[in-house]
Structure formats: structure tokens, C-alpha cells
Amino acid sequence: MTQLPNINAGTSADQTFGSASALNDLDLDAFLDLMIAELQNQDPLNPLENDELIAQISQIREVGATEQLTETLDAVLLGQNISSATSLIGADVVALTDEGQRVTGNVRVVTIENGQPKLDLAVEPSATAAPQAGQLAEGNYTYEVVWEGSTGDLFGVELPPASTASLANFQGAIRLNNLPETDTPKQIYRTDRSGQGERKLVAELPHGKTTSFVDQLADGQRTGSPLTAPVQRLAFGNRVTVRLSNIGEVRPPQSSTE
């Protein structure tokens, strides 16, 4: 009976590294199948020497140990990532989507996809202090984003009031985040520092897909007529999924006692 080549035999000088290391690409089951086939088909008049058999058994143990170690490390890493992700439930985070869009939202659900935790964020329009300096005085501001629908009607989203006293590192400019994506240009209106009264135009965003804007205008720099046309106000919110590795900033939920 023909004996299979010894899988531990040395390789020829012109054999490529990929061929020499092909054994490393075998999983444990394939390795065992190969070993059993070799033992079953060896020449009974010329069986493997004891040292050759022992060497192959040692190889099996090494391959098995490597595979088990890899599986163990993967399981530990996944467990750590799941623990980190679930600890963020209820927290507000700043993250990047797979498309590179910066979003701010509240972590609601954690899911596992292809062995990686992903976080579902409830994303709503919000205002934060912009890193740039601007002409906005300290006060309370109310913003409204307005756009025209396909029928000519006006739709709008009113952002929660922005108090400069609650904005960290306020330098006279406010950044609006997570604005709704629209098929038509958007106009941004704003009250004066009192947070009440007329809402005047501070900017027009020609691209409906633009989702952020930095307001640096003083009250007297607002232009145009006040917003008086009837607007169908919408309650806007998105659900966005981001990777745990794409979380850039975490704002833990505040305790009710704080």
C-alpha cells in the first residue's frame, strides 16, 4: 500500500514560503483528517518510525493549542467589547458613522454584528458650543430649520432652546448638529438672545443633505423678514448605527440627584 508523504518532511529549496506554511492555514479538523488518512494508508511493511509518529502527534497538539488560544482570545475581546458597549446604554455619545458623518445621540440598543458590537443611537437635532469664535452674545437662543416640500408647503423643526450658560467653552458661536436631511435647501431662523420674539434668517443651506451649521452672527446681523409663513412643525429624530470603535466622546447620563 502506498505511503503518503511525511507531512513533517523538509521542503525543497525552491518551494515558496506560502507552500511551506500551508500547514499553518489548516484548521484542526483538516489536520486530523490528513493525519488519519496517512496512518490508514501507510505501508504496513514500512510503517512510520516511532519518532516520526511522536513528532506528528506533537504537531497536532501545537495546532490544537494555537486554535484554542485564538478562540479564547477572540472570546475575551468580544466579552470586553460587549461590556464596554452595554455600559454606554443611556449615555450621549459623539461618534462617526461608516460614511464619516459626525453624529451626536443617545445610546439605546447594543447589537452584535459579525462579532463586533454596534450601537443604535437616537439622534435628534442639538446645539453645542462651536470651537470658532463668533459674535453671539450670552443668552438663550431658539432655532428653527425650515424647508419647502414637494407641494410647496413649508416644513420645520424647532431645536431645543440653546442656553449659552450650559454650553461648555462657549466663544460666541453655536454649532447646530444632526439637522434633518431634505431634498430641498434649508433655511435657519433664530430668535435674539432673549429666546423670544421674531425669528430672523441667519443662514440658507443650499444642499439639503447638509446636517450641521455654525452660527456666529450677532442679533443685529440677522437678515431678511421674520418668519411669519405657516410652517408644519415636525418632531424629527433619526436612528443611526455606529461601531464601538468609532465612538469619540462619551457624555454619561446625569443622575437625578445631580
Task: Answer whether residue 15 shows pLDDT above 50.
Answer: no
Task: Answer whether residue 7 shows pLDDT above 50.
Answer: no
Across 109-138, average pLDDT: 87
Q: Is 211 left (phi over 0), alpha (psi -120 to 50) or beta?
A: alpha
Task: Answer whether residue 93 shows pLDDT above 50.
Answer: yes
In the chain, the percentage of residues whose pLDDT exceeds 90 is: 28
Task: Answer whether residue 149 shows pLDDT above 60.
Answer: yes
Alpha-carbon dihedral sign for residues 161, 165, 167, 172: positive
Q: Mean of the per-residue pLDDT values for the chain? A: 78
Task: Answer whether residue 164 shows pLDDT above 90.
Answer: yes
Across 151-169, average pLDDT: 92
Q: What is the per-residue pLDDT across 231-241, written as a single tens digit (0 to 9) for each?
A: 998 876 667 88
pLDDT of residue 47: 60
Confidence of residue 204 (pLDDT cuts 50, 70, 90): very high
Which of 51-60, 131-140, 221-230 has the least mean pLDDT? 51-60
* 116: its cell numbers: 463586533
Quote the pTM value: 0.53
Confidence of residue 63 (pLDDT cuts 50, 70, 90): low
pLDDT of residue 178: 80
